[in-house]
Amino acid sequence: TKIVALGVVTALVAYSWRDTFAPESLQGAKVLVTGASTGIGEQMAYHYARFGAQIVITARRENVLREVVERCLELGAQSAIYIAADMSNTSDPERVVRFAVEELGGLDYLVLNHIGPSPFTMWNGDVEHTRWLMQVNFLSYLQMTSAAMPHLEKSAGSIVVVSSLLGKMCSPFVAPYSATKFSLNGFFGTMQHELAMQRKNVSLTISILGLIDTQSALEKIRGYTDMKAYPASEAALHIIKAGATRQRESFYPLYTYFACLIRDWFPFFRDLVIQNSYNFEP
């Protein structure tokens, strides 16, 4: 009986993870990607471009955004434009959504990916940095969602929130960052219930990522751990597919799924493993 049950569970998991992604569904799709000047956001812009989407990208650095837009057009984007904005400025999130909706004539995908820089260090009591980071990594996501929602309801569109294993499990050196990611999971997880209960045809995907080989991530962990980092381009494609297939929650790489499943089984050993995976001398 146990073997049959295990077989059924495995089959169900495999069925729910089958690749139902149809690349043509993104042809001409109206997409806004945040944090797209570097890292995973930049790679998402290139994938959307290859699928022939109409893209608006945003981040702070105009000169870098200009280059990403040029590359998107070379790769086959139906259109690509940028808007420079700073998400720590409380009026910029709405301004960016307004710009994207006007330029694209609507919106199909709101891809929330940006993060502000935050030191990889034990918390030093700096509350102001956490307050600032909450605006950039969390509150701006809410502002953009609120501004985009009427347009996404019209298009039966999608919100994609890029989150982290550090929004599911606590780890040292990243208290402010982790707080913003736990906030995202809590807020948007609640919103998933509410969208379903109101029968709104807007999908909301939360992507949980493990360590990805972006320059900013690798620079932070250097000297602290030699954990394997996974490719940004693959992570970006994973997120896009999860959004396009309207998944609730997606995990990349796969170990993050199992980490979340067994997170609370043996807390003592979990914490021992986490603490011993970093080099640190008090």
Task: Kindly identify the residues of this chain, within the stretch 203-262, that bind ligand NDP according to CB under 6 A.
Answer: 209, 211-212, 214, 216-217
Binding mask 70-89 for ligand NDP (x = CB under 6 A): ---------------xxxx-
Tell me the residue ranges of DSSP E strands in 49-171.
54-59, 79-84, 109-112, 158-164
- Is the distance from CB of 68 to CB of 37 less than 8 angstroms? yes
For ligand NDP, which residue has the nearest CB? 39
For position 152 contacting ligand NDP by CB under 6 A, the verdict is: no
CB of 46 to ligand NDP, least distance (A): 13
For position 162 contacting ligand NDP by CB under 6 A, the verdict is: yes
Radius of gyration of the CA atoms of the chain, in A: 19
Choose between 37 and 205: whose C-beta lies nearer to ligand NDP.
Answer: 37
CB count within 10 Å of CB 117 equals: 10
For position 64 contacting ligand NDP by CB under 6 A, the verdict is: yes
Q: Is 177 a catalytic residue?
A: yes
For position 61 contacting ligand NDP by CB under 6 A, the verdict is: yes
Q: What is the DSSP string of 106-141?
A: S-SEEEE--------S---S-HHHHHHHHIIIIIHH
The residue with tokens 């602290």 is: 224
Of residues 177, 224, 257, 278, which has the active-site annotation?
177
State the DSSP H helix or E strand holding residue 224, giving kind and residue range, or none if neither: none
Choose between 114 and 151: whose C-beta lies nearer to ligand NDP.
Answer: 114
- Burial label for 204, CB within 10 Å (0-12, 13-18, 19+), is buried
Angle at which helices 175-197 and 127-134 cross, to 10°: 30
**Out of 26, 37, 148, 174, the residue judged to bind ligand NDP by CB under 6 A:** 37
For position 114 contacting ligand NDP by CB under 6 A, the verdict is: yes
Residues near ligand NDP (CB under 6 A): 35-41, 59-61, 64, 85-88, 113-116, 136, 162, 164, 209, 211-212, 214, 216-217
